[in-house]
Amino acid sequence: MPAPAEILKYIDEHQDAFIDRLAKAVSIPSVSGDPARRKDVFAMADWLKAELESLGATVEKRPLGKQMLDGVELDLPPALLGQLGTDPKKRTVLIYGHFDVQPAEKSDGWLYDPFTLTKDPEGTGKLYGRGSSDDKGPILGWLNVFQAHKELGVELPVNIKMCFEGMEESGSEGLDELIEQEKDKFFKGVDCACISDNYWLNTTTPCLTYGLRGVNYFRISVSGPSKDLHSGVFGAAVHEPMTDLVTLMSKLVTSKGEILIPGIKEMVAPLTDEERARYEAIHAEVSDFDDAVGAAITLHDDKVNTLMGRMRYPSLSLHGIEGAFYGTGCKTVIPASVHGKFSIRLVPDMTTAKVTECVLKYVKEEFAKIDTKCKMSVEMVHGGEPWMADPNHYNYRAAHKATEDVYGISPDYTREGGSIPVTLSFADALKINVLLLPMGRGDDGAHSMNEKLDTDNFIRGSKLLGSYLHELGASSE
């Protein structure tokens, strides 16, 4: 059963107020990876808790302990466990989202201040701001639905349990332990889960996502002199950490994206004809990738291999070098120590443990070949396993119908190239089906500069979440 027409009308009529609430959320710079912004992640938790409570939810703040970040002990931001409705005759759906965001600085190349929601500057309905699509917009989509029901006095068709965290962009530290502790308490009675935290493949076709790649994030540290040196005074006289690190990082992946670490490719589940046919059926073109990244730079020239590269094969990306000179000008420095960061996206049947074993062994062997007096260490910073769900479950059928209700078309069935490690934790610990129901478009620029959410995706996406709840409430096994 679709959401009642009055709910959909309410969402349309309150578009401006909903965008203002998104602006407030974006203005809190809740960057989990930056110790200086940690207080803002706490502030974001408080703000979201108050908003949920004003809509009638009961919400508990659950502390998650402490973490060590670059040798400094930091409090982890709390998770929010919320509830709306306890009717034993209704299904209970768990919704998850994260209120932390990736780092963003105007100087990264943003057109506007990343922590001010810039509304529709080009007249095309785009809402620019860090977290607009990943993942504050989708969280607020749920709030829009709750508000419509509360204000109109329409009963929610299912019971809602909520889990919102503030560390997703930094490895979801502490959350698995909370889920394990609470699986027979707070999470008891959950029938299925819905996560809105990924993206359509293109800019026009909604999708349901039944798989995620996992991720192992690594850090290689190379150190030499006890302080930064003048390259004119000491160049060609000493071993240089940066040179060794760049040599090492160049051994990880080719320019064609081929991972050079022995043992990685061998773990990947073989492709079947049936699976290949699923990629052929997806509504996407290579040009959608070109548009999303802003250049014609795909590794493959055909749709199927491009989609499979993103969804069903592993990838290795080099992210950056901490300690390196990166400013303007020509500083002639030999950095004393540098830290190279890279991650590997995991697919079935890879595991974080086996990938870590292969990487550590290989990096140490390759470093030994360099014949340097610098010191090297390598560590896995955080990891999450790949995940797949059954897309024939009633949870997916409800979302399929809701997509038809709201968009008038059938959704594509996709696997996401990104990672949401907690998805597998919910599926395994609670033994439930999890659905990923994205709100944003493929060109939203999550993790990039100029992240945006289209007004239409925010508003119709809110209607989609509402209709999904009604279809779920009316569905049978």
- Core vs surface per residue 37-75: b (16+ CB within 10 A) or e: bbebbbebbebbbebbeebebebeebebeebebeeeeee
Q: Does 261 help bind ligand L7UNP4BN (rule: CB under 6 A)?
A: no
Following DSSP, what letter does each residue of 205-235 receive, concatenated? --EEEEEE-EEEEEEEEEE-SSS-EEHHHHT
Q: Does 165 help bind Zn ion (rule: CB under 5 A)?
A: no
Query: Considering only CA atoms, which of 88, 96, 91, 56 is closest in space to residue 178?
Result: 96
Residues between 108 and 147 with contacts to ligand L7UNP4BN, criterion CB under 6 A: 134-135
Q: What is the CA radius of gyration of the chain?
A: 23
Strand, helix or coil for residue 397:
helix
Residues between 232 and 291 with contacts to Zn ion, criterion CB under 5 A: none
Q: Which helix (H) or strand (E) holds 384?
A: strand 375-384
Q: Which of 127, 215, 264, 350 binds ligand L7UNP4BN (CB under 6 A)?
A: 215
Query: Considering only CA atoms, which of 126, 265, 337, 96 is closest in space to residue 196?
Result: 96
Piece of 163-171, 184-192, 236-244, 251-259 that binds ligand L7UNP4BN (CB under 6 A)? 163-171
Q: Find which of Zn ion, ligand L7UNP4BN, none residue 191 binds, CB within 5 to 8 Å per kind.
A: none
Q: Find which of Zn ion, ligand L7UNP4BN, none residue 198 binds, CB within 5 to 8 Å per kind.
A: ligand L7UNP4BN
Give the residue numbers marked as catalytic: 100, 168
- Bridge partners (DSSP) of residue 376 are 222
Q: Does 198 help bind ligand L7UNP4BN (rule: CB under 6 A)?
A: yes
Q: Does 7 help bind ligand L7UNP4BN (rule: CB under 6 A)?
A: no
Piece of 138-146, 190-198, 327-335, 367-375 that binds Zn ion (CB under 5 A)? 190-198
Q: Which of 40, 51, 100, 135 binds Zn ion (CB under 5 A)?
A: 135
Please report how the helices 455-474 and 394-407 are oriented relative to each other, as an axis angle in degrees rounded to 10.
Answer: 130
- Which tokens sit at 55? 């809509």
Quote the least distance from Cβ 114 to ligand L7UNP4BN, whole Å.
16
Task: State the residue for tokens 């079935």.
Answer: 348
The count of chain residues that interact with ligand L7UNP4BN, using the rule CB under 6 A, is: 14
Cβ burial, residue 263 (10 Å; 0-12/13-18/19+): middle
Query: Considering only CA atoms, which of 283, 150, 141 is closest in space to residue 207?
Result: 283
Ligand-binding site membership of 120 (annotated): no
Q: Measured from the CB atom, is 159 or 419 closer to Zn ion?
A: 419
Query: Considering only CA atoms, which of 153, 186, 154 is closest in space to residue 62?
Result: 186
Ligand-binding site membership of 332 (annotated): yes
Helical H runs in 318-393? 352-370
Ligand-binding site membership of 345 (annotated): yes
How many angstroms separate the CA atoms of 460 and 11, rounded?
Answer: 9
CA angle 311/352/323 to nearest 5° reads 90
Ligand-binding site membership of 16 (annotated): no
How many angstroms separate the CA atoms of 224 and 43, rounded?
Answer: 40
Residues between 383 and 422 with contacts to ligand L7UNP4BN, criterion CB under 6 A: 416, 418-420
Q: Does 197 help bind Zn ion (rule: CB under 5 A)?
A: yes
Ligand-binding site membership of 254 (annotated): no
Q: Does 169 help bind ligand L7UNP4BN (rule: CB under 6 A)?
A: yes
- Which tokens sit at 150? 């509360």
Ligand-binding site membership of 134 (annotated): yes
Q: How many CA atoms lie within 13 A of 322 on its CB side?
A: 11
Q: Find which of ligand L7UNP4BN, Zn ion, none residue 386 binds, CB within 5 to 8 Å per kind.
A: none
Ligand-binding site membership of 419 (annotated): yes
Q: Measured from the CB atom, is 135 or 471 closer to Zn ion?
A: 135
Quote the least distance from Cβ 381 to ligand L7UNP4BN, whole Å.
9
Residues between 30 and 89 with contacts to ligand L7UNP4BN, criterion CB under 6 A: none
- Which tokens sit at 85? 């409705």
The answer to whether the bond into 454 is cis (omega within 30° of 0) is no
Q: Does 167 help bind ligand L7UNP4BN (rule: CB under 6 A)?
A: no
Q: Measured from the CB atom, is 189 or 418 closer to ligand L7UNP4BN?
A: 418
Q: Does 444 help bind ligand L7UNP4BN (rule: CB under 6 A)?
A: no
- Core vs surface per residue 210-228: b (16+ CB within 10 A) or e: bbbbbbbbbbbbbbbbeee
How many angstroms separate the CA atoms of 94 and 187, rounded?
Answer: 8
Quote the least distance from Cβ 172 to ligand L7UNP4BN, whole Å.
8
Q: Find which of Zn ion, ligand L7UNP4BN, none residue 215 binds, CB within 5 to 8 Å per kind.
A: ligand L7UNP4BN
Q: Which of 40, 173, 191, 197 binds ligand L7UNP4BN (CB under 6 A)?
A: 197
Q: Measured from the CB atom, is 307 or 420 closer to ligand L7UNP4BN?
A: 420
List, as residue ranges, the binding site for substrate.
Answer: 197, 230, 332, 345, 419, 447
Chain residues that interact with Zn ion, rule: CB under 5 A = 134-135, 197
Name the residues that contact ligand L7UNP4BN, by CB under 6 A: 134-135, 168-169, 171, 197-198, 215, 217, 416, 418-420, 446
Binding-site annotation: residue ranges: 98, 134, 169, 197, 230, 332, 345, 419, 447
Annotated binding site for Mn(2+): 98, 134, 169, 197, 447
